[in-house]
């Protein structure tokens, strides 16, 4: 059955919020927002920590109608960052994952069979893009660099701030709502994947990349801020002993990131993986087994001794894949 979206095109931002007070960053200006939320506004995560430069880029998208792309490695919080900004502004926000199964018909709409007066009739069912462009909605394209070429050319039509959307099948031209906003997240910056981490990503037409007015790079956080993020998600470790354990987890994660950068290993720990490790540690009460279950078992066999060495360096313990244990088994 086709999905039906509610129309709220006449809603407009009716309040202003101070950026510093709302997002906890060093900035003193106001942004437009909605006084009341509707069903499309994401839930607020009160524990979320905002990165200043990324937050300012996203806010420019909302307040000044900039087309904003957030680029970064997996697990760095790109999509969540946009959602949490929207949540605090009460701005309706819808995310679409641009995997290879999303077609231009999914975006624009297609004929669908519906029941009217107990009879089956074929009617045009509007897609998510025509609906979003007519409403004060933030539309977020996740995994933007994995989109199909036919889908990318559909999106290109609305990348211009005043870009109208032509529906050829309907002989209609849609003018964007003044408070329609467009965002995207990507692991690469449109030049394809040179790391081997992101199979399925595409090179993006540079004429299209040129239409994204702001491209912000969200890198992994400092040890202090990442520790704060993990402890806010795993409250059982928010004590002196737990904080030390989490700091060591993040130091190990940074070793994997550095090892990946230097070509020593082909995988790395994202903040998402660190949170999973901390949660699993709470479940199993064992650092070694929770580390193996959360990350080590995902790694190449030939690289496990290197990662086990990272673990030993941070925790002064050995995993089952450490060199000494492998020698003992032989």
Tell me: do 107 and 74 sit in the same domain: yes
Residue 271 counted as domain residue: yes
Q: Are residues 58 and 149 in the same domain?
A: yes
Q: For residues 57 and 183, state if they share a domain.
A: yes
Say whether both 228 and 154 belong to one domain. Answer: no
- For residues 166 and 298, membership in a common domain is answered with no
Domain for residue 5, yes or no?
no
Three-state SS annotation for 94-115: EEEECCCCCCHHHHHEEEEEEE
Query: What digits encode the pLDDT tens for the residues 212-235?
Result: 999 999 888 889 889 998 999 999
Query: Which of 148, 182, 217 is the last residue before a domain boundary?
Result: 217
- Residue 157 belongs to some domain of the structure: yes
**Does pLDDT of 200 surpass 60?**
no
- Judgement on whether residues 185 and 230 belong to the same structural domain of the protein: no
CA distance 53 to 66: 15
Q: What distance in Å separates the CA atoms of residue 257 and residue 251, rounded to the nearest whole number?
A: 10
Q: What does the mean pLDDT of the chain come to?
A: 87
Do 211 and 227 belong to one domain? no
Residues 110-149 pLDDT 10s: 877 777 778 888 877 888 999 999 999 999 999 888 888 8
pLDDT of residue 328: 47
Rg (CA), the chain: 23
Which pLDDT value is given to residue 254? 95
- If asked whether residues 227 and 314 sit together in one domain, one would say yes
**Which of 217, 242, 273 represents a domain boundary (last residue)?**
217
CA distance 55 to 203: 26
Domain span at residue 25?
15-217
Select from 83, 34, 17 the least CA-distant residue to 55. Answer: 83
Mean pLDDT to the nearest integer, 232-260: 94
Tell me, yes or no, whether 178 lies in a domain. Answer: yes
Residue 7 domain flag: no
Average pLDDT over residues 288-311: 94
Q: How many domains does the chain have?
A: 2
| Same-domain status, 118 and 262 | no
Q: What is the pLDDT of residue 330?
A: 42
Q: Which alpha helices (H) appear in 234-302, and where do they start and end?
A: 240-261, 271-284, 287-294
Q: What is the pLDDT of residue 2?
A: 46
Q: Is residue 278 part of a domain?
A: yes
Which CATH number characterizes residue 206's domain? 3.40.50.300
User: Is residue 248, in this structure, part of any structural domain at all?
Assistant: yes
End position of a domain, from candidates 217, 235, 264: 217
Note whether residue 314 is domain-resident.
Answer: yes
Instruction: Output the pLDDT for position 73.
Output: 79
Q: Is 228 found in the same domain as 192?
A: no
CA distance 311 to 316: 7
Q: What is the mean pLDDT of residues 37-45?
A: 95
Are 185 and 259 within one domain? no
Strand-pairing partners, residue 120, are: 115
* Long-range residue pairs from 46-50, CB within 8 A, at least 24 positions apart, any chain: 47/232, 47/233, 48/80, 48/84, 48/232, 49/24, 49/221, 49/225, 49/228, 49/229, 49/232, 50/23, 50/24, 50/25, 50/81, 50/84, 50/85
Based on the domain organization, do 120 and 241 belong to the same domain? no
């Amino acid at each position: 059955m086709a999905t039906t979206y509610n129309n709220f095109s006449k809603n407009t931002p009716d309040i202003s919020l101070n950026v510093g007070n709302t997002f906890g960053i060093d900035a003193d200006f106001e942004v437009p927002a909605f006084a009341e939320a509707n069903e499309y506004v994401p839930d607020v995560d009160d524990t979320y920590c905002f990165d200043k430069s990324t937050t300012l880029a996203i806010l420019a998208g909302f307040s000044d109608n900039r087309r904003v792309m957030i680029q970064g490695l997996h697990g760095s919080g790109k999509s969540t960052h946009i959602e949490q900004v929207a949540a605090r502004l009460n701005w309706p926000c819808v995310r679409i994952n641009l995997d290879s199964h999303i077609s231009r018909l999914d975006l624009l709409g297609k004929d669908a069979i519906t029941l009217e007066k107990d009879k089956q009739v074929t009617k045009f069912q509007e897609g998510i893009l025509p609906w979003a462009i007519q409403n004060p909605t933030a539309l977020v394209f996740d995994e933007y660099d994995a989109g199909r070429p036919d889908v990318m050319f559909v999106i290109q039509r609305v990348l211009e701030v005043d870009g109208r959307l032509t529906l050829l099948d309907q002989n209609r031209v849609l003018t964007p709502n003044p408070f329609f906003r467009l965002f995207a997240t990507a692991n690469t910056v449109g030049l394809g994947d040179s790391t081997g981490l992101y199979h399925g990503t595409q090179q993006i037409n540079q004429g299209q990349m040129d239409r994204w007015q702001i491209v912000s790079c969200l890198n992994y956080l400092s040890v202090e801020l990442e520790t704060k993020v993990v402890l806010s998600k795993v409250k059982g470790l928010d004590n002196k002993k737990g904080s030390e354990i989490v700091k060591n987890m993040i130091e190990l994660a940074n070793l994997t990131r550095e090892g990946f950068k230097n070509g020593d290993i082909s995988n790395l720990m994202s903040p998402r993986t660190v949170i999973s490790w901390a949660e699993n540690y709470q479940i199993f009460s064992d650092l070694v087994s929770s580390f193996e279950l959360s990350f080590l078992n995902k790694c190449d066999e030939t690289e496990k001794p290197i990662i086990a060495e990272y673990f030993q360096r941070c925790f002064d313990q050995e995993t089952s894949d450490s060199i000494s244990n492998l020698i003992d088994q032989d």
